Amino acid sequence: MLILGIESSCDDTSVALVDASTRGFKILAEKTASQIEIHKKYGGVVPEIAGRMHAEKILPLIEEAAAKQPKPDIIAVTSGPGLITGLMVGVEAAKTLSYLWNVPVVGVNHIEGHIHSVEIFNFQFSIFKIKYPAIALIASGGHTELILIKKRGQYKKIGATLDDAAGECFDKVAKLLGFDYPGGPKISKFAETGNPDAIKFPRPMLDKNNFDFSFAGLKTSALYWLRDHTVIARRSRSDDEAIQSSNDTGSPRRYAPRDDLSVNDFCASFEQAIIDVLVGKTLKAVEKYKPKTIILGGGVAANKKLRETLSSAIKQRSQISNLKYPISNYCMDNAAMIAVAGYYHAIKKGFTPWQKLKADPEWEIAH
Ligand code: KG4
Ligand code: ZN
């Protein structure tokens, strides 16, 4: 079955042609236009600009991806949740093509796409299939959710953030440090050489007996810490000597005082707080529901330390780790994951007549 996937729920316009068969999934063509360079100037995604950019890019991208390929058997499009301005563009494109090509269309939940992103293996057939029951932690700029999947397609949201998403918290704190949007990858890069125990940030909701998250308080703690301290660029031995000598001579201090920390220490401590909460809550869910597959998806799943910490925490409990995360490119929003999730609806004839397909920015995967 040849599937045209379309994703436009945030700041990536993405189109993919995926071959789905008993051998697994194989991407035949993929085209993505990122809007990051434009939104960077504003420090975050501006919905109106995003909508206009999607509208500009979507048809040329479909044309490029579909060139020299047979007509798809189905179209799978993200119809929620996400920014209405972007979703509408993808959904209207899918409806138009469904009508023109006389091909059925399926509306896919964006979170369901992230869940199935672990079944993608680039341009080769992927043989990995999720085993159920599964637990999925989906952490991105817009979402932080723990989902129990009893059987394929049977979702129960067991926990979610009550305020900011994990990626949003990374991005907002990165902005305080003067990093460009999206700041998550920059924080994790600086964190690599920092001390995660340097600053004791709170681990919100970790001791609560539920699967919910809250990151707004952590963001505020980071804000207050930055207000009250100076972070300095990574300190080397020569910096230390310079501080010493400038103090000794009584000349004006060119460097932060000794008790201030490097930006690397700040990033490592902040990142560790987010990781501890994400890992702690996921482990609680694993202990309760004993899943056969544990899925880590969404943009924040690209964080290497999060992957390693979660994987080794699972191994400590059960000797082997049944954690599965997407190959790096597919952590971020992409159309291939939408095509894969759409395939599972298509084999159950879960189509929507194009006249009835609607973008739903608030679409919950399950309650
Ligand atoms: O899934 P995604 O592409 O878009 C949304 O649906 O939001 O996720 C983007 C988010 C951003 O907040 C970005 O900062 C975060 O994922 N992110 C990371 C890393 N790479 C991307 N956060 C922490 N560490 C990373 N390495
Ligand atoms: Zn996403």
Beta strand segments in 36-190, E: 74-80, 105-109, 134-139, 144-149, 155-160
CATH topology of domain 134-321: Nucleotidyltransferase; domain 5 (3.30.420)
As a whole number of angstroms, the distance between CA 242 and CA 222 comes to 28
pLDDT for the residue 234? 61
Please state the domain extents for the chain. 2-130+329-356, 134-321
Q: Could you tell me the pTM of the whole model?
A: 0.91
Is the pLDDT reported for residue 244 higher than 80?
no
CATH class of 2-130+329-356: alpha beta
Atom of ligand 1 nearest to the CA of 167: 12
When pLDDT is cut at 50, 70 and 90, the band that residue 247 belongs to is: very low
294 lines ligand 1 (CB under 6 A): no
pLDDT at res. 283: 96
Q: Are strands 261-262 and 293-297 parallel, antiparallel or unpaired?
A: unpaired
Say which amino acid occupies 339: A
How far, in Å, is the centroid of ligand 1 from the Cα of 170? 8
Res 312: pLDDT: 94
114 assigned ligand-binding residue: yes
The mean pLDDT value for 270-296 works out to 97
How confident is the model over 218-237, as pLDDT tens digits?
999 999 999 998 887 764 44
- Is the four-CA dihedral 36, 145, 109, 342 of positive or negative sign? positive
Is 274 touching ligand 1 by the criterion CB < 6 Å?
no
- For 89-127, the pLDDT digits (tens) are 999 999 999 999 999 999 999 999 999 999 998 778 877
Q: Is 44 in the pocket of ligand 1 (CB under 6 A)?
A: no
Tell which residue, 218, 301, 311, has the closest CA to residue 266: 218
What pLDDT, on the 0 to 100 scale, is given for residue 23? 84
Which residue reads 């920390």 in tokens? 261
Look at residue 259 and tell me whether its pLDDT is greater than 90: no
pLDDT band at 337 (very low <50, low <70, confident <90, very high): very high
119 close to ligand 1 (CB < 6 Angstrom): no
Average pLDDT, the chain: 91
Give me the DSSP letters along 327-358. Answer: -GGGTS--HHHHHHHHHHHHTTT--B-GGG--
> Which residue in 87, 107, 138 sits closest to 326, CA to CA?
138
pLDDT of residue 208: 96
- Whether 241 shows a pLDDT value over 60: the answer reads no
Structure tokens given for 134: 């599964």
The pLDDT value recorded for residue 257 is 44
Which residue owns the Cα nearest ligand 1 atom 1? Answer: 299
pLDDT for residue 254 is more than 90: no
- pLDDT score recorded for residue 249: 39
Measured CA to CA, the distance from residue 213 to residue 138 in angstroms comes to: 12
Q: What is the mean pLDDT of residues 315-330?
A: 89
Q: Are 357 and 91 in contact (CB under 8 A)?
A: yes
The ligand 1 atom nearest the CA atom of 9: 6
Binning pLDDT at 50, 70 and 90, where does residue 242 land?
A: very low
Mutate to test the pocket of ligand 1, among 111, 140, 176 (most ligand atoms within 8 A of CB): 140
- Going from the Cα of 349 to the center of ligand 2, the distance in angstroms, rounded, reads 25
Q: Is the CB of 298 under 6 A from ligand 1?
A: yes
Q: Is 138 annotated as a binding residue?
A: yes
Examine the pLDDT at 47 and tell me if it is beyond 60. yes
Residue 74 annotated as lining a ligand binding site: no
Separation of CA 141 and ligand 1 centre (Å)? 5
Residue 30 β-bridge partners: 16
Contacts 24+ apart (CB under 8 A), 307-311: 309/275, 309/279, 310/137, 310/278, 310/279, 310/282
Report residue 154 as tokens: 């049977």
Instruction: Say whether 333 counts as a known binding-site residue.
Output: yes
Expressed in angstroms and rounded, the spacing between residue 304 Cα and the centre of ligand 2 is 18
Ligand 1 within 6 A of CB of 297 = no
Look at strands 12-21 and 24-34 and give their pairing.
antiparallel
Instruction: Give the largest CA-CA distance in the chain.
Output: 81
Q: Is 184 annotated as a binding residue?
A: yes
How far CA 346 is from CA of 16, 98, 105, 116, 340, in Å, comes to 16, 14, 9, 14, 10
Q: Is any ligand 1 atom within 6 A of the Cβ of residue 303? A: yes
* Residue 149 bridge partners (DSSP): 134, 155
Q: SS3 of 305, please?
A: helix
Return d(Cα 21, Cα 85) in angstroms, integer: 33
pLDDT of residue 245: 45
Angle between helices 263-289 and 184-191 (to 10 degrees): 100
Residue 366, pLDDT score: 82
Confirm or reject: Cβ of 103 under 6 Å from ligand 1.
no
255 CA from centroid of ligand 2 (Å)? 41
Structure tokens at 36: 């990051």
Q: Any residues with CB less than 8 A from the CB of 317 and at least 6 apart, and which?
A: 283, 286, 287
Rounded mean pLDDT, 328-344:
96
Q: Is 171 annotated as a binding residue?
A: yes
Q: Tell the residue number behind the tokens 């972007």, with chain if given.
A: 86
Domains 2-130+329-356 and 134-321 share a fold: yes
State the distance from the centre of ligand 2 to the C-alpha of 348, rounded, in angstroms: 25
